[in-house]
Structure 1
Amino acid sequence: MTRDARHGAQDDAQYEHWQRTYEEHPGMYGEEPSAPARYAAGVFAAAGAEEVLELGAGHGRDALYFAGRGFRVVATDFSPVGLGQLGRRAAAEGLAGRVTTEVVDVRAPLPFGGGSADAVFAHMLLCMDLSTRRITELVAEVRRTLRPGGTFVYTVRHTGDAHCGTGVAHGDDVYEHGGFAVHFFSRELVDRLAEGWILQEVHPFEEGALPRRLWRVTMTVPAQGPA
């Protein structure tokens, strides 16, 4: 089996795992927004953003928080099950008019026009089972989608995390625990992905009981210069 074929089988396994997880554990992350989403909402508002594109929205705790803060939200995920849960919650909370859901696989080009987004948010999406090449391509797609001056806030688990280097190794700093594969980011990778952007902040934080160790990264597309 070739390396590409092996990775394709791994991709399929991760997709099925997430679909099954959302089916068996609806609302698995709770209803309260994540701390990074609370931070991002303030940053986006200060930058004058009106619409937020969320990548990897899952069942929607952060997307619904952004909508409640007055943003229009395009919530994407590769799991129709998770997005179905998000849509039902949006309707129940009177936010359906502010939230659009779309099934998107970030392993392919983003289906949005260039310069069409004010802000992009991705909590732990980039550190899923994605190769460095795919992550690099995805960040380039985010930049293409953002308007000049637009802001990207993302979070990733990093190589200082207790799970990094343990479990089932898939190569390229990807390790699997309990069926979930994670790409652990080095600081060198964060800096490389920020080339051509304005890197505003790399903020370390912890989450969960392990605890998971993450970085919250904020970067912006340079504004257009004078004509």
Structure 2
Amino acid sequence: MSDQHEHWQRTYRANPGMYGEQPSDPAVYAARLFRDRGALDVLELGAGHGRDAIHLARQGFRVTASDFSAEALAQLRERAEAEGLGDQVRTLEHDVRQPIPLPYRSVDAVYAHMLLCMNLSTQEIRDLVGEIHRVLKPGGVLVYTVRNTEDAHFGTGTALGDDIYEHGGFAVHFFSPELVDILATGWELRERQSFEEGELPRRLWRVTQELPRH
């Protein structure tokens, strides 16, 4: 993923705030759900420059915003401080192929918009979900979004294997229904909701799954 790391660093450097300031629809959904579940501490994986992390902090959550791009996290911290949210948002430079550097059962909820469908092998994704399981408290909830095999880009561009295709320098792992089910093993799968975002348009799923309370 080193080439992807450099690609994202350059992209964020060249396009500060590239996704805008408004939260994504999945982040608005996640904030409502997390509040309903009584969550306080939220981990966002792949937070980028922070449009969703800022929204979660505005809703009163304590947010740990993780990304492997130091450039993106610098933009996130600057915005959090500017909005008076510095005490509610902490950043964590982290490559999700490595163990999450947080203690066992230390967060109430995890949110990841378009992170699990990055240039990660199926095994790396399974290992990551295992790590999410480890850091979540019993009854904790995970909301993630991924591009799926109904997307127009699936099967086109440069094939990298394992349902990963590269377009314009960005590698994407397209999710099948079977992969969603595999990742829900040991969880309670609450929802797999189809939605569209951006140009093409991109076709995604928003997945909600919870850990048993005992």
Q: Once the two structures are superposed, what CA deviation does each residue of 1:142-184 show, in whole Å capped at 9, x if it has no partner?
A: 0011000000000000000000000000000000000000000
Question: Structure 1 regions of 5+ residues with no counterpart?
Answer: 1-10
Match of residue 132, structure 1, among 101, 119, 122: 122
Q: Once the two structures are superposed, what CA deviation does each residue of 1:61-117 show, in whole Å capped at 9, x if it has no partner?
A: 000000000001000000000000000000111110110001011001111111001
d(CA) in 2 for partners of 1:93, 1:175: 38
d(CA) in 1 for partners of 2:131, 2:199: 33
Aligned-residue RMSD, C-alpha: 0.4
Letter in 2 for 1:49: A
Match of residue 169, structure 2, among 145, 167, 179: 179
Whether 1:68 and 2:61 are equivalent positions in the alignment is no
d(CA) in 1 for partners of 2:140, 2:199: 34
1:12 counterpart residue number: 2
Letter in 2 for 1:34: S
Deviating above 6 A after TM superposition, structure 1's stretches of 4 or more consecutive aligned residues are none
Cα shift at 1:51: 1.1
Identity %: 64
Q: TM-score scaled to structure 2, two decimals?
A: 0.99
Question: Structure 2 regions of 5+ residues with no counterpart?
Answer: none
Match of residue 84, structure 1, among 64, 74, 82: 74
d(CA) in 2 for partners of 1:69, 1:108: 29
Secondary structure (helix, strand or coil) at the match of 2:116 reads coil
Match of residue 170, structure 1, among 152, 160, 166: 160
Letter in 2 for 1:221: L
d(CA) in 1 for partners of 2:81, 2:201: 34
Q: TM-score scaled to structure 1, two decimals?
A: 0.94
d(CA) in 2 for partners of 1:67, 1:116: 18
Cα shift at 1:58: 0.3
1:121 counterpart residue number: 111
Whether 1:199 and 2:197 are equivalent positions in the alignment is no
Count of matched residue positions in the alignment of Structure 1 and Structure 2:
214
1:22 counterpart residue number: 12
Letter in 2 for 1:167: G
2:31 counterpart residue number: 41
Secondary structure (helix, strand or coil) at the match of 1:217 reads strand
Letter in 2 for 1:40: A
